[in-house]
Structure 1
Amino acid sequence: MDKRTKVFICAAASYWFLSVMAIIGRSRKRKRVARREGITYAPMFERDRKRIEYLNDKIWRNDTTCVNMLRMNKARFFRFCQLFRDHALLEDTIHMCVEQQVAMFLHTVGHNVRNRVIATNFGRSGETVGRYFNKVLHAIGELREDYIRPPSLDTPAKIEGDTRWYPYFKDCIGALDGTHIRATIPKEMQHAFRGRYKHCTQNVLAAVDFDQKFTYVFAGWEGTAHDALVLRDALACEDGLRVPQGNSLTYVLSINLFIKITGSLRCNLTTHHMLGKYYLVDAGYGAKPGFLPPFRAVRYHLNEWGRNPVQNKKELFNRRHCSLRIIVEQAFGALKRRFKVLDDASPFFPYETQVDIVIACCIIHNWVIEDGSDEFNEPDDNDENTQDTIYAGTTSENAIMLAFRQGLADQMWADRQSHGN
């Protein structure tokens, strides 16, 4: 092969190689151009406009619609959103303001709907809904110490202003009880959460004051756990439930000496001061320092001025005890009416998130009460509808609290017989 032929072949090969590379380059360029042409910001502005229109027309059009959708009226909702701005817990993003973030959260817990429903209604992706739900949940949890506070040690106005309860319960600081919240649990663990209900539940212990505000919430126990066991764990926790009491040594020695001398523990200022404060509880918890239950096996579902008047001091005590303790049932009722995620079908979240949701709902409940009247509070003064649940296997009761309860019942009955109150 001569030199001229070799040059011709090399030139042809070079031309072929360059032609192939040019074709590949044009193909990649067309793909890049096509990709760039697919990115446009104009539809995002239109989508944001439609999102705001949905909020204006379907969420906070008026108070009735806002309560139905977000479980609070318009003015209260915007004050609630401002709370997060003031505490620097939430902030507006490029395409989502704080109001939209909070609205999605409240609609979810208020109606127990799935992320895909919220995503469709609010024009968001499922990932966006889940991400902002967790952000709002965390922000509400940061307010726990501000809104779930220990009760005041002063005599509650509700007790002080009524001769049925004053001075007998003047050192009572609230009522304590447990409630069962529906839970979604992995199949292999469901046996521990399915107790007296057909569905799985978590056992939530809570204390409330006489304004229906939660002063302590302990969530996460299995539905099969006994209420007394949950209370014992709450008392054992480092940052758990605390009931203000008198000096322990003076308390025990003084009460024992008083009982030996008088044979009973009368309701007077001295014994009240020595015993300290206490919560009203049902019979399932038993009598122990700081917790006062009713008498067991004694009726109290009575109409005092009806056909079944009270017959003795224990019935009188139980009736008045119940009429005060019902405040915790009313608080649970208002909480579950507002947030259907606590009372409807099983929630669609991991169990750890379900526990956090219970705490968050209690925080919102307290904030609403401090903000003003509660749309979901339906007080029921008819204590005949309450149930005094007595469980088997209750731990031994404290003799001092038993004597204290008997002294209260004696004093109530004596006052009723002499003054008719």
Structure 2
Amino acid sequence: MEHNSIHKTIVGVAASALVFGALWIHRIKSRKQISRQCQVNRDDERENYINSILYTGDQNCIDIIRMQPLSFFNLCDILTRNNFLQSTRSMNVKEQVIIFLHIIGHNVRFRVIGSRYYRSIETIHRYFRIVLRAIMKLYKLAIRLPDESTPPEIINNSRFYPYFKDCVGALDGTHIRASVPPNIQGRFRSRKGGTTQNVLAAIKFDLKFLYVLAGWEGSAHDSRILTDALTRPRGFSIPEGKYYLADAGYGIRNGIISPYRGVRYHLKEFSNHRPENAKELFNLRHSSLRTTVERVFGILKKRFRVLDAEPFWDFQTQIDIVLACTIIHNHIMGVDPNDIINEGMYEEPEPYSITSMLTQREEREEAREWASKRDEIAEAMWIDYININM
């Protein structure tokens, strides 16, 4: 009897299991089928996006990375050939450079870029630093002081030649927004408000940078920054007998010729408000030639939006980014001087008059030799101007 009892128990348990199983299968079948989304192949999506930037037209490439494909591939080649940048197991050179250019071109946060390229924030941050260091190594190759020859932009223009035959470039400063600790913000506050770094640059008339010094406080005077540049080891130097054009803030000194103070500065040579004397004519043509600097700064800031936005890096990185942007600018101008991004990126200001007076102290500081040279240029220019327009 005991054996029959055990047998019945086993049969009962098995029957219950079968019934439970049947009920479970029925419930599963009666459920609505839930469709699963296909998983994104990140590698394929990333590659497709990069290809869409580089191979769907120059304008699309310019819109995203601020240069044409020709300049981009040439930049990658230079970085690789000089062993400044190499592909890794996780990211090739092409992607590294595209991500860097995308960030500085549009001031995009690492989080947003990471999402777009299917990369982690840590990966984006790491490769941004790697590419920045690589670009900085190009400084000596891309930014060079001029030789002693007269620039073709002067030789080929009768308004400037032979008067400015010894001029090798133009000099000016610009303010770039800066983020610094509260305890030193006062030193970085510029006259227009906000914290900035004051960047000194020498420019060729073909729109290339010849020298760049970044990192000075926004409150620093232009002439003080220039003095620092001239006294640095392997810093800024001016060939013997040559000079740069600069605005009135730099004064006239050895190798620097500024406009006459207390004289109308912006006029129109061919209008009803023509220059009335040698100094006005000199200031007019000095301004026409020197606006190259303002044009380059305008192009630079519109090409790289990172320069016109609140920085989110440490200050040394902010300095390096400014230099990197000037290096890339020179690279583009060297590979593709007719880059369409330069068209319409800078609008020359409307003519106006400047009549700021020269103080006694500033008069004493003017270098007599170069003031005399300026007078000679102005007089020769005025004599020719009168003869032509008589």
* TM-score relative to the length of structure 2: 0.84
Once residues 158 and 400 of structure 1 are traced to their aligned partners in structure 2, the CA distance between those partners, rounded to angstroms, is 26
Q: 1:289 to 1:303 in 2, by over 3 A?
A: same
Encode CA deviations 1:90-113: one digit per residue, 9 max, x unaligned: 111122111110011001100111
Q: In the alignment, does 2:333 pair up with 1:369?
A: yes
- Give 1:362 deviation, angstroms: 0.5
Encode CA deviations 1:50-78: one digit per residue, 9 max, x unaligned: 21122223565322221111001223212
- Of residues 353, 358, 371, the one that matches 1:402 is 371
Q: In the alignment, does 2:221 pair up with 1:226?
A: yes
Encode CA deviations 1:381-407: one digit per residue, 9 max, x unaligned: 956458869698858111111111111
Q: 1:57 to 1:155 in 2, by over 3 A?
A: closer
Question: Match for residue 304 of structure 2?
Answer: 339
The one-letter amino acid of 2:138's match is L
Which runs of structure 1 show a deviation greater than 6 angstroms over 4 or more consecutive aligned residues? 386-393
Q: CA RMSD in A?
A: 2.3
Once residues 383 and 169 of structure 1 are traced to their aligned partners in structure 2, the CA distance between those partners, rounded to angstroms, is 23
Once residues 53 and 332 of structure 2 are traced to their aligned partners in structure 1, the CA distance between those partners, rounded to angstroms, is 22
Q: In the alignment, does 2:252 pair up with 1:283?
A: no
Specify the SS of the correspondent of 2:340: coil
The one-letter amino acid of 1:54's match is Y
Q: 1:371 to 1:44 in 2, by over 3 A?
A: farther
Alignment of 1:13-412 (within 5 A): 46-57=41-52, 60-245=55-240, 276-343=241-308, 345-372=309-336, 373-378=338-343, 384=350, 396-412=365-381
The one-letter amino acid of 1:356's match is D
Identical positions, percent = 47
- Give 1:195 deviation, angstroms: 1.6
Specify the SS of the correspondent of 1:203: strand
Q: 1:185 to 1:328 in 2, by over 3 A?
A: same
Specify the SS of the correspondent of 1:336: helix
- Give 1:197 deviation, angstroms: 2.3
The one-letter amino acid of 1:197's match is K
Specify the SS of the correspondent of 1:376: helix
Q: 1:387 to 1:77 in 2, by over 3 A?
A: farther
Q: Is the 8 Å Cα contact of residues 99 and 113 (structure 2) preserved in structure 1?
A: yes
Once residues 283 and 131 of structure 2 are traced to their aligned partners in structure 1, the CA distance between those partners, rounded to angstroms, is 43
Question: Match for residue 32 of structure 2?
Answer: none
Once residues 213 and 413 of structure 1 are traced to their aligned partners in structure 2, the CA distance between those partners, rounded to angstroms, is 30
Question: Match for residue 32 of structure 1?
Answer: none
Specify the SS of the correspondent of 1:219: strand
Q: Is the 8 Å Cα contact of residues 262 and 354 (structure 2) preserved in structure 1?
A: no
Q: Is the 8 Å Cα contact of residues 323 and 381 (structure 1) preserved in structure 2?
A: no
Specify the SS of the correspondent of 2:342: coil
Once residues 119 and 197 of structure 2 are traced to their aligned partners in structure 1, the CA distance between those partners, rounded to angstroms, is 31
- Give 1:46 deviation, angstroms: 3.3
Encode CA deviations 1:156-195: one digit per residue, 9 max, x unaligned: 1111111111111001000000000111112222111112
Q: Is the 8 Å Cα contact of residues 68 and 339 (structure 2) preserved in structure 1?
A: no
- Give 1:415 deviation, angstroms: 1.5
The one-letter amino acid of 1:360's match is A
Q: 1:115 to 1:357 in 2, by over 3 A?
A: same
The one-letter amino acid of 2:311's match is P
Once residues 70 and 401 of structure 1 are traced to their aligned partners in structure 2, the CA distance between those partners, rounded to angstroms, is 44
Specify the SS of the correspondent of 1:54: helix
Specify the SS of the correspondent of 1:108: helix
Q: Is the 8 Å Cα contact of residues 246 and 256 (structure 2) preserved in structure 1?
A: yes
Q: Is the 8 Å Cα contact of residues 265 and 354 (structure 2) preserved in structure 1?
A: no
Q: 1:44 to 1:349 in 2, by over 3 A?
A: farther
Q: Is the 8 Å Cα contact of residues 330 and 377 (structure 1) preserved in structure 2?
A: no
Q: Is the 8 Å Cα contact of residues 294 and 321 (structure 1) preserved in structure 2?
A: yes
Encode CA deviations 1:124-180: one digit per residue, 9 max, x unaligned: 111111110011011111111111001131111111111111111001000000000
Q: 1:236 to 1:88 in 2, by over 3 A?
A: same
- Give 1:420 deviation, angstroms: 3.4
- Give 1:44 deviation, angstroms: 11
